[in-house]
Amino acid sequence: MLQEHAKIVDFISMAEGVTGRKKLQKMIFILKKMGLPFQEKYEFHIYGPYSEELTARIEELCDMGFLSEQLEDKGSYMQYKYTVTKEGMDFRNMLGETKVADQAQAAKLNEKSGRFLELTATLLFFDDLERAEQIEKLHIVKGKLNFTEEEIQQAFDFIDELQS
Amino acid sequence: MSYATSKLAEEKVFKDPVHRYIHVRDQVIWDLVNSREFQRLRRIKQLGTSYLVFHGAEHSRFNHSLGVYEIVRRISDDIFHGRPEWDEDERLVVLCAALLHDLGHGPFSHSFEKVFNVDHEVFTREILLGDTEVNRILLKVAPDFPQKVADVIAKTYTNKQVVSLISSQIDADRMDYLQRDAYYTGVSYGHFDMERILRVMRPMEDQVVIKSSGMHAVEDYIMSRYQMYWQVYFHPVARSAEVILRKILQRAKELSESGYKFEQPPTHFKAFFNRSFTLKDYLALDEGVLMTYFQLWMTERDPILSDLSDRFVNRRLFQYVDFDPGKDYRKLGELGQLFREAGIDPEYYLIDDSTSDLPYDFYRPGEEEERLPIHLLMPTGDIKELSRLSQIVDAISGKRRTDYKLYFPAELLIDGKKKAIKNQILGMLREGGV
């Protein structure tokens, strides 16, 4: 069980911190879809694929003192920033083989916006459908976000890039 | 009359201890109940290993699925019927989704899914959309009907009112399982005034709201849920059985991967061991099949597989102590080493397990929460989030409670062999919090 906690710590350390709960949720989902061995179970929620298990695990890691959670004021809204503490690094190192993502992969995801990752994760949630159906489904479940054709194309390109 | 609107000549009723009667008039529903995929749910227990603690908890996912259907039928036919904000055309899709929402659950789902990295919701979708009796029945309604039902269950359906009836913080699924599980376990928690809640539910815009006069019934429901999670669902002894079950499956998988020759070939598991399984392989499994293998594995040559199987079948469960990973994760490593020195494999006999629950949460703008709140409809027509009005709910809102345990076979530590090391282990375990 703690191996799963350690994987999350490892990923956040590779990403050198993640700002935004939604962003973190989508990053792990995308990596899971890329075949990385995260065990968290996802369902479709308000902002797309969401894992209650991941939320619980993050809260547990904060309670254990392995992650630090800081609330950042972004002007019109607030966001949580997660970073790994020194104790968290010791924990990860003690558990041994927990490495799931590399630094480049983590950075690639981290530089994207929450909106873009939400779009990418939602398309991946429907990856059993044909591309046209995926887009149709996206507009049904994310109609209010008005994703443009250009954004959608960028998301598909990003998925191809991650898969290559 | 089309198949979608076709009614049985006479209403069928199922006697039910929770709802007294479950009523079926629709031909579609009757056909779905009689499909082989739905009948399979009779062979899967609703509460997994909890029957080893609460001996009455032998009820199946079949009972629960019928119960959820009955609650949604009552909402659709009695409470929402005729209300302008409810789309009557959604009746059949919501009834089918309620009935079929757990269709993809497998035997001892929680453990099975973890070990074989599968998801019962994916199987639900495959059963609804694949080559199955259920799919053929749904297709008779309309070519896009199986997809609609699948979308409701996956929460990606356009009409959010329909989704919230099956899946939200106050939905038919929870209202049935809390009462049903309370009834079959025999505990006195889990009871609440569902009749009152149903009477005050209203469809409104893209959600289902509760008239504020029903707030106290909702408070009672939330407290029931809280009690049931900690008293029944997270019972430490049931978790011990769950841990052993998971380790049996893990051991069998590991043995298969290492080329071990089973005395009794694990035919039903082979496709899962090498990840080549199909829907047919999955549907061939039920708890009877798994229990048969556990019985057979009690006499396997591999001492770990035979011991764990015997523990599960004969309820020789692991003991447990509280464990604080934040403080004690280093001690866990030391204990693992001592177990190895004592000749006990810590991978199978020293297991940490955590469980947590968030009884209720609400959406705080800008904080990226994902739970839709329960909204109360005020006499003025305004809506207010539940915890703003209820002090009881406010007290537990957003507060997650987590419990960590460390499981181990106590009797192997007092068998007289390698006494010094085992005493050291027992000393560490008895220290409190490991």
pLDDT score at B364: 56
CA angle B359/B105/A36 to nearest 5° reads: 80
pLDDT, chain B, mean: 94
- Token look-up 């590991």 returns B254
Q: Quick one: pLDDT at residue B135?
A: 98
- A39/B353 touch (CB, cutoff 8 Å), yes or no: no
In this prediction, residue A98 carries a pLDDT of 61
- The count of residues in chain B is 434
Return the pLDDT at A84.
97
Would you say A14 and A37 are in contact if contact means Cβ atoms under 8 Å apart? Answer: no
Report the first-to-last Cα separation within chain A, whole angstroms.
31
Q: Classify domain B3-233 by CATH architecture.
A: Orthogonal Bundle (1.10)
Report d(CA B408, CA B355) in Å as an integer: 17
Which residues have CB under 8 Å from B193's CB, separation 6+? B217, B220
> Measured between beta carbons, which residues in chain B are less than 8 angstroms from residue A77?
365-366
Structure confidence at residue B314 (pLDDT): 98
Identify the contact set of chain A against chain B, taking CB-CB distances under 8 A.
1-2, 5, 20-22, 25, 39, 41, 43-47, 50, 52, 55-56, 59-60, 63-66, 76-80, 87, 91, 94-95, 114, 137, 140-141
Confidence of residue B432 (pLDDT cuts 50, 70, 90): low
pLDDT value of position A100: 76
pLDDT exceeds 80 at position B434: no
Flag if B368 and A22 touch (Cβ within 8 Å). Answer: yes
Asked if A65's CB is within 8 angstroms of B400's CB, the reply is no
CA distance A40 to A51: 6
Choose between B370 and B167: higher pLDDT: B167
DSSP letters for B194-206 = HHHHHHTEEEETT
Q: Tell me the shortest Cα–Cα distance from B368 to chain A, in angstroms.
A: 6
Residues of chain B contacting residue A25, judged by C-beta atoms under 8 Å apart: 370
All residues at 6 or more sequence positions from B317 whose CB lies less than 8 Å from its CB, including other chains: B52, B237, B240, B241, B244, B311
Which residues from A are below 8 Å from B330, CB to CB? 94
The pair of structure tokens assigned to B20 is: 């007294």
Q: How far is A154 from chain B (nearest CA, A)?
A: 23
Q: Which of A41, A47, A63 sits opposite B326 (nearest CB)?
A: A63
Band of pLDDT at residue B433, cut at 50, 70 and 90: very low
pLDDT of B5 > 70? The answer is yes
Does the pLDDT value for residue B368 go beyond 70? no
Which residue of chain A has the CA closest to B327?
Answer: A64
pLDDT band at B294 (very low <50, low <70, confident <90, very high): very high
Q: What is the pLDDT of residue A74?
A: 76
B409 CB contacts (<8 Å, ≥6 apart)?
Answer: B311, B318, B319, B344, B349
Give the residues across from B178 on adjacent strands. Answer: none
Q: Taking CB atoms and an 8 Å limit, are B356 and A66 in contact across chains?
A: no
Nearest residue, CB atoms, A21 vs list B158, B326, B368:
B368
CATH architecture observed for domain B236-354+403-430: Up-down Bundle (1.20)
Nearest to A58 by CA among A80, A77, A87, A35: A80
Instruction: Dump pLDDT digits (tens) for B41-64.
Output: 999 999 999 999 999 999 999 999
Q: To the nearest whole percent, how much of chain B has pLDDT over 70? A: 97
Give the chain B residue nearest A138 (alpha carbons).
B156
pLDDT score, position B359 = 76
Subunit contact A45:B370, Cβ cutoff 8 A: yes
Instruction: Give the pLDDT confidence of B71-130 residue by residue, as tens digits.
Output: 999 999 999 999 999 999 999 999 999 999 999 999 999 899 999 989 999 999 999 999
pLDDT digits (tens, 9 = 90+) for B261-292: 999 889 999 999 999 999 999 999 999 999 99
What pLDDT sits at residue A146?
A: 87
What DSSP string runs through B168-212?
SSS-HHHHHHHHHHHHHHT-S-S---HHHHHHTEEEETTEEEEEG
Residues of B contacting chain A (CB within 8 angstroms): 113-114, 117, 119, 121, 154-156, 158, 325-326, 329-330, 332-333, 351-354, 356, 358, 363, 365-372, 400, 402
pLDDT of residue B329: 87
Measured between beta carbons, which residues in chain B are less than 8 angstroms from residue A21? 367-369
> Two tokens at A160?
């191809």
CA distance B213 to B87: 25
Q: Which residues in chain A are closer than 8 Å to B346, comparing Cβ atoms?
A: none
The predicted pLDDT at position B367 comes to: 52
Residue numbers in B near A35 (CB within 8 A): none
Per-residue pLDDT, A46: 73
Buried b (16+ CB within 10 A) or exposed e, B354-378: bbbbbbbbbeeeeebbbbbbbbbbe
Positions in chain A whose pLDDT score sits under 50? none
Tell me the DSSP string of A108-142.
HHHTS-HHHHHHHHHHHHTTTS-HHHHHHHHHHHT
Length of chain A, please?
A: 164
Q: Do domains B3-233 and B236-354+403-430 have the same CATH topology?
A: no
The token pair at B99 is 């009935």
In chain B, what are the domain boundaries?
Answer: 3-233, 236-354+403-430
Domains of chain A, by residue range, sit at 2-163
Helix (H, G, I), strand (E, B) or coil at B296: helix
Instruction: Identify the DSSP state of B372.
Output: P
User: Which residues of chain A does B358 touch, with a Cβ-Cβ cutoff of 8 Å?
Assistant: 56
* Interface touch A46/B330, C-beta < 8 Å: no
Contacts B158 to A, Cβ<8 Å: 140
Query: Is pLDDT above 60 for B20?
Result: yes
Interface test with A, best of B370, B372, B401 (most A CBs within 10 A): B370
Cα separation, B264 vs B299, in Å, equals: 10
- What CA–CA distance (Å, rounded) separates A74 from B368? 13
Give the other-Cβ count within 10 Å of B174's Cβ.
18
Contacts of A45 in chain B (CB under 8 A): 155, 370-371
pLDDT bucket at B219, cuts 50 / 70 / 90: very high
What's the pLDDT at B328?
87
